[in-house]
Each structure stands twice: as C-alpha cells, then as structure tokens.
Amino acid sequence: MPTAPVAPASLTGRLRTATSESVGGLPSAFWWLWTSTLVNRLGGFVVTFLALYLTVDRGYSASFAGLVASLFGLGGAIAALVGGVLTDRIGRRPTLLVAQSLTALSTTALGFADGRLMIAAVAFLVGLSSNASRPAVSAMIADVVPAADRVRAFSLNYWAINIGFGVSAAVAGLIAAHGYLTLFIADAATTLLCAFVVFVKVPESRPTASGQAPGAPGQAAATGSAVSLGTVFRDRRFMALVGLTFLVALVFQQGSTTLAVSMGKSGLSTEQYGLVIALNGLLIVLLQIPVTRLLQGRDRGVLLLAAALLIGWGFGLTAFAGSSALIYAGSVAVWTLGEIIQAPTSMGLVAELSPTHARGRYQGVYSLSWSAASFLGPAAGGLLLDHAGHRTLWYGCAVVGTVAAVGYLVLGRRADAARQPAPVPVSA
C-alpha cells in the first residue's frame, strides 16, 4: 500500500523551529543579563550625541570634540584592564554594580559640566566608569553559557545592545532638538535601572577553585600558576587578534564622532543624523540573528576578513555622500553588515582562547582594543576632517579596513597551519 506524501512543514512550524534554534536553551542568568543590557542601551544617549552636543550646542571645534571623545576612550582603555582584573579577583557582579553606579553619577555630572577643562575631565571619568563593566559582562556570558552556544549568546547580547541603540538614537535626535540636558539625566537613570536588575536578578558566576561557575555549566579551569596581565600580553595569537580588532575599531569609531560632524558640516540636521545612525541599530535588530544562523559553522578567519572589508569600504563610501542623507544611509548599511559579522565572531573566538580562571583579564585586554581605538580614533578623525578634508578621512578608513582584512587572512592561514598534524617520518 503506497504511503501518503509527507506534507511540508507549515510556515508557523518553521518559524517556531528557527526561533527555538536562535533563542532557546540559554540559561535564565543570561536572559537577565540580556535584559539589563537592553535597559542600559535604551538610554544610551550621551556617547552617540556627544560630538554634536559639543560642536552644535556648545560651539566647540571638531578637533576639541575629537579630543573629548579621545579622553573618553582613554578612560575606557584604563578601565578595560582594571575592570578585567577586578572581574577575576572580586567577581563579575560587584564589578558590574560599582561600574554602573559610578557611570550614572559621572554622566549626570557631564550634563552640568562647563568649560573645556571640566568637560574633558568629566568625559574621561565617564569613559573610565562605563567601560569597566565590559569585561564583567563578557566573562559572565562565557561563564553561564555552554561553549557550543556562546557565539549565539554573544550575538543575542549584541542584538540587545543595538535594539537599545536604534531606539535611543532615533528618540535622542528629537529630544536633543529641545535641549541636551535631558539626554544626560535619562542616560544616568537607565544606567541605575540596569544596576538594579543586576543586583536583584543576576547571580555571581565567577568560577570556583575547581573552575566551575556557581550554578552554571563551564569548562574546567586550567591548572598551573595564576594568569597575569603579562601572560595575556605574551599570548601571541590572542594579541594578534587584539591588534587587528584595534584597526577595525579605529574605523568603526568614526561612526559616533566624525560622521556626525561631517554630516553637520554638510548642512544636515541633528534629526537627520539621528535617523541615519539609527539605521545601524535597526539593521542589526533585523539581521543579527538570521545572519548569525546563516553563517554558523563557517570559517571564522574568512568571516572576519569579510567583516573588515565591509566596515572599511562602507565608511569609505561616505566620501561620496556630499549632502545626501540617502548616500550616508547606504554607507551605514554596508558597514553595519560588517559589524553584524564581526562582533559575535570575534567575541566567541576570544571566549574560546581565554582560560576559564582568567576570562576577565582576557576580556579586559580584548576590550582594550576598542577603548584604545576610542582614544585614538576620534582625535585622528577630527584632525583629518579639520585639516585634510572629509575625503582623505573616509579613504583612510577604506585603507585601514583593507589592511585589517589582510591581517585576518594571514592569521587564519597560520592558525590552520598550526592545526595540521606534524608529518610522520618515513624510515629508510
């Protein structure tokens, strides 16, 4: 008797399966951490609009705005190392709570700061406090999520960051048109709310002496002496990844500093910049999960190479934008695709390369690449924009992105060669 043909799965069934594969099976501690990240980023107004606040509202030059952003990055660079060490020594949760509380205080102070020296000093403190929490968040995700699901978890966390970023960028542009102080106060309030969620719902996950995070799956801790920052800096493969990430981050930093100034000089409004930069968050919200699923299992070296090219040349397209908000939006779409690929791929690789008992330090040094770029990128971009013109700035971004892509190609080939088994000698 012939069997009846099997009906294809319904659209609802396929969607249910895709949703389960994308967000299912992750521990509750991760989802509370995800929620705290979302809350924090929904109010993340200040960094996005700091350059416009200084140049348009306060009347300072692009060079000074770049200097302030660089001091913010310098604070972040110091915080990356200090936060990484504290994450391993006193725990993830205490580091998060202290960093977020200090961030709320310093962000409020920045809204009331007056004068070049005071603004620069407080911006440094905001960078110092806000970036101290990054190693703790990344280490906690690596602690509580099994290795097979970490790229997916980092992708989901990045998704939360950009849901909040997209909403805050669009809303902040409208609020800023009526006064910037509200942005600073709202940013501080959401940071405190984020700290409250962590305090109430997120348990400590620092691995015990046996290498196991309390109440969470984790790999065994490496044996031997404790890992110091010096040990991390001597890890050549890891530091090569950090160096290449720094180059990509140098380019990426132009999106939150010199891009705003360039659009302002082209006659575009605060609202137009807010909508254009919000496209970055919107595309990540729409594409992060499906792109991550599509690229799952692909060679990470190739993915990072493609990401560097998309980011570098995406910013390079800005050279042709002129006063067209549409072309600016197109360039944002290109480098956003590179960001979607780069962020979870590199974070998953960092977690893999990090010993269990030294995740905070490794994550801190990795965060240093972004913080150092936050320090150097805005100042270099501001100087190029003021003294060499916007085309030189954006062509330079394309060149740096290409150099990073070549570096990823070389690093990937060396890693592949290292994994090859040694040849077996043949006796005569």
Query: What type of residue sits at position 169?
Result: A
Q: What is the mean pLDDT of each run of 10 residues along the chain (428 residues)?
A: 51 56 77 88 74 79 79 84 88 91 91 88 89 87 85 85 76 72 85 89 75 46 57 88 93 83 78 80 83 80 92 91 84 93 86 82 87 79 80 90 92 60 46
Q: Given this model, what pLDDT does residue 349 score?
A: 84
Q: Given this model, what pLDDT does residue 247 score?
A: 94
User: Which one, of 235, 233, 198, lies nearest residue 353 by Cα?
Assistant: 235
Q: Given this model, what pLDDT does residue 150 score?
A: 83
Query: What type of residue sits at position 415?
Result: A
Q: Given this model, what pLDDT does residue 24 score?
A: 66
Three-state secondary structure of 178-215: CCCHHHHHHHHHHHHHHHHHHHHHCCCCCCCCCCCCCC
Cβ-contact 304, 347 below 8 angstroms: no
Long-range contacts, stretch 395-400, CB < 8 angstroms, 24+ apart: 395/316, 395/319, 397/251, 397/254, 397/312, 397/315, 397/316, 397/318, 398/312, 398/313, 398/315, 398/316, 399/312, 400/247, 400/250, 400/251, 400/312
Q: Which CATH number fits domain 27-208+230-419: 3.60.21.10, 1.20.1070.10, 3.40.50.920, 1.20.1250.20?
A: 1.20.1250.20
Give the start-to-end residue ranges of the domains of the chain: 27-208+230-419
pLDDT tens digits, 28-50: 889 998 898 888 887 777 777 77
Cβ-contact 125, 71 below 8 angstroms: no
How far is it, in rounded angstroms, from Cα 396 to Cα 315? 9
Alpha helix (H) ranges present in 90-149?
Answer: 92-112, 116-131, 134-144
How far is it, in rounded angstroms, from Cα 233 to Cα 11? 50
pTM comes to: 0.72
pLDDT tens digits, 140-156: 988 888 887 888 888 88
